[in-house]
């Protein structure tokens, strides 16, 4: 029997011992920079001449490491191995597969600060954010392991006197996991082990900006007893290897997390039936957000300002759940805006290796430029209250930025910026606020600050987002507590870390025997 699921606690870095532990791991990680990492196909380490270089976003010339890069031939080799491995892996005991996840969780927990230190450097995450990313990776392992045990005997259906009926889940086949850089550990881990624990084999293509953490996960899974060929590590260019695998007739399903642009491209390509393909591919696609916090006229404004600040600037606003829009009731708009501006001015943007840093860099030059382009748009569309600039001398640092008096239809209030930029619009009543909140093509997270029970109930029914929070911020979903995924152009709402998630990686089989 496994113990009931409980989420991994966050580390309290105000305790000196914890602080020392992470500092030590950061030093060790910095001493280990610049290594080379191979591909892993069927357990075999393969080194290529062509490499992906992973940089530290806070020190743009610092190389974290060099990762071998898969091309089409190597992707094909990985597909062959995954397909062969699936033929026996699909019949393994679910408990045995879950045990790999439990052991992997234990290994990561024992070396927690080592992983967190790596995320600080490779992802540019401040300590608290990096620690939460590691904790979430552990949570996915613990939660999905338990979910597999819950689902292993299928679901009860009806039988009759003359017949005995059963309904159980079987795996799908070879799955392609394509992961983003923002939760470089947690999302990459969750979207790799969910297909694996359900009996599929996996081709893992991580984001090219942050591939090394995936190699480290591979080592953990191997140490935990995962047989060769079950998960194959094939970093490479999204447009080359990604397209090839999405189109491949042997691909049975694709689990993608990333931008709306790439997500819709994968959805379209996956729908094409290729010569020799024997199924319609399944897609699990989680995309962007344009997430709103609504503040009602009777709300606790200090709490709202605090939540807006944290949700907008946590990990430099680079969360799909980040608050990038505030819709405030006109009665409290000015006061709330002033509180948020004051809090924003106090935020320290610095190298995330420092314990005190609240906000670090954005991920790379392309993001830096994109965010500052949006700042220019914001200057035309609204009123710049604070921030609006960056500094790229040592790394990709953008200052936290507030724009006021925006039209809810403005580009700043409609398009995903994926940086520390938050826009304010005014509503004349609560109904209008919800109408504005819903007026984007996305539907991922949202929050409402209100003490009016009727308004809270209205939002519960009408605010159309996958994750809706009351009187708290709109980020920081916890596995098993806040199943996560969005509506509309935010994705297929597969709800990662939720009770239905694993079923997306399986198919139900009905057997009926005449007695
Ligand atoms: P991205 O640019 O879409 O990349 C995501 C992954 O797709 C990367 O591994 C990328 O590889 C790969 N890719 C690129 N082109 C491809 C193609 N043609 N075929 C197959 N794969 C391809 O997204 P990102 O910049 O990494 O992540 C940020 C986005 O993710 C934001 O929009 C954010 O909202 C979203 N996100 C959503 C959720 C959610 O749960 N809904 C969670 C986290 C993030 P390369 O790196 O090699 O290009
Ligand atoms: Mg990208």
- Ligand 1 proximity of 428 Cβ (cutoff 6 Å): no
Whether 264 is in the pocket of ligand 1, judged by its Cβ within 6 Å, is no
User: Given the CA of residue 496, which atom of ligand 1 is nearest to it?
Assistant: 40
User: Residue 85 is part of a domain; what is its CATH number?
Assistant: 3.40.605.10
What local confidence, expressed as pLDDT, does residue 405 receive?
98
pLDDT value at residue 451: 98
Asked if residue 227 has its Cβ within 6 Å of ligand 1, the reply is: no
Same domain membership, residue 258 and residue 141: yes
> Best of 234, 258, 467 to mutate for ligand 1, by most ligand atoms within 8 A of CB?
258
**Residue whose entry in the numeric block shows the structure tokens 């290796």:** 353
Ligand 1 near 232 CB (within 6 A): no
Q: 182 C-alpha to center of ligand 1: Å?
A: 9
54-59: average pLDDT: 98
Report pLDDT for 177: 98
Averaged over 488-504, what is the pLDDT? 98
Residue nearest ligand 1's atom 35 by CA: 258
Domain that holds residue 325: 291-478
Q: Is 265 in the pocket of ligand 1 (CB under 6 A)?
A: yes
**With pLDDT > 70 as the criterion, what percentage of the chain qualifies?**
100
Which pLDDT score, from 0 to 100, does residue 485 have? 98
Same domain, 296 and 282: no
Protein residue closest via CA to atom 9 of ligand 1: 207
In this predicted structure, the answer to whether residue 450 has a pLDDT above a threshold of 90 is yes
Structural domain count of the chain: 2
Q: How far is the CA of 146 from the centre of ligand 1 (A)?
A: 28
Are residues 458 and 367 part of one domain? yes
Measured CA to CA, the distance from residue 238 to residue 377 in angstroms comes to: 29
Q: How far is the CA of 243 from the centre of ligand 2 (A)?
A: 15
Any long-range contacts for 344-348 (C-beta under 8 Å, 24+ apart)? Answer: 344/309, 344/313, 344/385, 344/386, 344/387, 344/400, 344/401, 344/402, 345/386, 347/309, 347/313, 347/400
Atom of ligand 1 nearest to the CA of 262: 3
Mean pLDDT (whole number) for 255-261: 98
Q: 182 CB less than 6 Å from ligand 1?
A: yes
Identify whether 191 is part of a domain. Answer: yes
Residue 53 within a domain? yes
Summarize pLDDT for 365-404 with one digit per residue, the tens: 999 999 999 999 999 999 999 999 999 999 999 999 999 9
* Ligand 1 contact via 416 beta carbon (within 6 Å): yes
Are 510 and 434 part of one and the same domain? no
Same domain, 349 and 424: yes
Q: Does ligand 1 have an atom closer than 6 angstroms to the CB of 436?
A: no
Question: Which residues are identified as catalytic?
Answer: 286, 320
Distance between CA 29 and CA 23 in Å, rounded? 10
| ∠ CA 508-258-61, rounded to 5° | 140
| Distance, CA of 228 to CA of 223 (rounded, Å) | 11
Kindly state whether residues 397 and 498 are assigned to the same domain.
Answer: no
pLDDT digits (tens, 9 = 90+) for 17-27: 999 999 999 99
- The predicted pLDDT at position 1 comes to 80
Does residue 438 share a domain with residue 320? yes
Asked if residue 10 belongs to a domain, the reply is no
Least Cα distance to 433 among 412, 416, 419, 450 occurs for 450
Task: Choose one of 238, 255, 362, 418 to mutate for the ligand 1 pocket test, by most ligand atoms within 8 angstroms of C-beta.
Answer: 238
Decide whether any atom of ligand 1 lies within 6 Å of the 286 Cβ.
yes
Residues 6+ apart with CB under 8 A from 4: none
Q: Which ligand 1 atom is at minimum distance from the Cα of 269?
A: 19
Atom 43, ligand 1: which residue's CA is nearest? Answer: 320
Dist. CA 47 → ligand 1 center (Å): 25
Q: Does 415 fall in a domain? A: yes
Residue 401 lies in a domain: yes
Q: Is the CB of 211 under 6 A from ligand 1?
A: no
Would you place residue 332 in the very low, low, confident or very high pLDDT band (cuts 50, 70, 90)?
very high
Q: Within this chain, do residues 262 and 299 fall inside the same structural domain, yes or no?
A: no
For residue 468, the domain's CATH number is: 3.40.309.10
pLDDT (tens digit per residue) in 476-489: 999 999 999 999 99
Question: Which ligand sits nearest to residue 179's alpha carbon?
Answer: 1
Q: Using one digit for the tens of pLDDT, what is the confidence trace for 121-161?
A: 999 999 999 999 999 999 999 999 999 999 999 999 999 99
pLDDT of residue 187: 98
Residue in 419, 343, 341, 477 with CA at minimum distance from that of residue 124: 419
Computed over every residue of the chain, the mean pLDDT equals 98
What is the band of 77 on the pLDDT scale with cuts at 50, 70, 90? very high
94 pLDDT higher than 90? yes
Q: What is the pLDDT of residue 285?
A: 98
Mean pLDDT for the stretch of residues 168-173: 98
Ligand 1 atom at minimum distance from 286 CA: 41
Backbone angles phi, psi at 68, to 5 degrees: -60, 150
Query: From the alpha carbon of 52, which atom of ligand 1 is closest?
Result: 47
Whether residue 5 is contained in a domain is answered as no
- Ligand 1 close to Cβ of residue 145 (< 6 A): no
On whether both 282 and 303 belong to a single domain, the answer is: no
Distance 206 CA to ligand 1 centre (A): 9
Using DSSP, state whether 194 is helix, strand or coil.
helix
Are 239 and 162 within one domain? yes
For residue 378, CA distances in Å to 69, 288, 298, 336 come to 38, 20, 29, 19
Same-domain status, 279 and 341: no
Residue 102 and residue 222 in one domain: yes
pLDDT at 143: 99
Residue 338, pLDDT score: 98
| Rounded-to-integer distance, Cα 319 and Cα 325, Å | 14
Given ligand 1 and candidates 55, 178, 180, which is best to mutate, with the most ligand atoms within 8 Å of its CB? 180
Q: Is residue 13 assigned to a domain?
A: no
Q: Is residue 1 part of a domain?
A: no
> What distance in angstroms lies between residue 440's CA and the mean position of ligand 2's atoms?
22
């Amino acid at each position: 029997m496994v113990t009931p699921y409980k989420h991994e606690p966050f580390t309290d870095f105000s305790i000196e011992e914890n602080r020392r532990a992470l500092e030590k791991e950061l030093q060790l990680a910095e001493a280990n920079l610049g290594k080379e990492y191979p591909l892993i196909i069927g357990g075999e380490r393969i080194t290529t001449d062509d490499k992906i270089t992973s940089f530290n976003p806070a020190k743009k010339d610092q190389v974290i490491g060099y990762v071998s890069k898969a091309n089409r031939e190597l992707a094909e080799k990985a597909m062959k191995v995954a397909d062969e491995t699936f033929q026996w892996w699909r019949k393994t005991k679910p408990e045995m597969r879950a045990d790999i996840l439990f052991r992997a969780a234990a290994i990561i927990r024992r070396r927690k600060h080592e992983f967190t230190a790596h995320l600080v450097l490779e992802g540019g995450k401040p300590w608290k954010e990096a620690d939460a990313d590691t904790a979430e990776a552990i949570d996915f392992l613990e939660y999905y392991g338990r979910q597999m045990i819950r689902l292993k005997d299928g679901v009860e259906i009806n039988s009759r006197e003359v017949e005995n009926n059963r309904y159980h889940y079987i795996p799908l086949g070879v799955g392609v996991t394509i992961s983003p850089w923002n939760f470089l550990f947690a999302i990459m881990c969750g979207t790799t082990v969910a297909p694996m624990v359900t009996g599929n084999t996996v081709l893992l293509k991580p984001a090219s900006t942050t591939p090394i953490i995936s190699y480290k996960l591979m080592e953990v899974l191997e140490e935990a007893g995962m047989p060769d060929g079950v998960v194959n590590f094939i970093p490479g260019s999204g447009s080359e290897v990604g397209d090839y695998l999405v189109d491949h007739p042997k691909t049975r399903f694709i689990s993608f997390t990333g931008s709306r642009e790439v997500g819709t491209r994968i959805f379209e390509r996956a729908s094409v039936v290729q010569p020799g393909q024997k199924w319609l591919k399944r897609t699990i696609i989680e995309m962007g957000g344009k997430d709103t916090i609504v503040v009602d006229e009777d709300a606790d404004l200090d709490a709202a300002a605090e939540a807006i600040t944290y949700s907008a600037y946590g990990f430099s606003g680079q969360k799909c759940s980040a608050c990038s829009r505030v819709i405030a009731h006109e009665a409290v708009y000015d006061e709330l805006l002033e509180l948020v501006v004051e809090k924003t001015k106090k935020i320290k943007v610095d190298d995330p290796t420092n314990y005190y840093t609240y906000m670090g860099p954005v991920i790379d030059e392309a993001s830096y430029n994109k965010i500052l382009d949006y700042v220019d748009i914001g200057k035309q569309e609204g009123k710049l209250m604070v921030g609006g600039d960056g500094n790229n001398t040592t790394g990709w640092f953008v200052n936290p930025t507030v724009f006021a008096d925006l039209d809810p239809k403005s580009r700043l209030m409609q398009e995903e910026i994926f940086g520390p930029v938050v826009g304010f619009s005014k509503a004349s009543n609560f109904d209008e606020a919800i109408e504005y909140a819903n007026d984007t093509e996305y539907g991922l997270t949202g929050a409402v600050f209100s003490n009016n029970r009727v308004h809270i109930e209205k939002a519960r029914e009408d605010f159309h987002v996958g994750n809706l929070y009351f009187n708290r911020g709109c980020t920081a979903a916890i596995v098993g507590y806040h199943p996560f995924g969005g509506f509309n152009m935010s994705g297929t709402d597969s709800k990662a870390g939720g009770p239905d998630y694993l079923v997306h990686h399986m198919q139900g089989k009905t057997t009926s025997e005449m007695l």
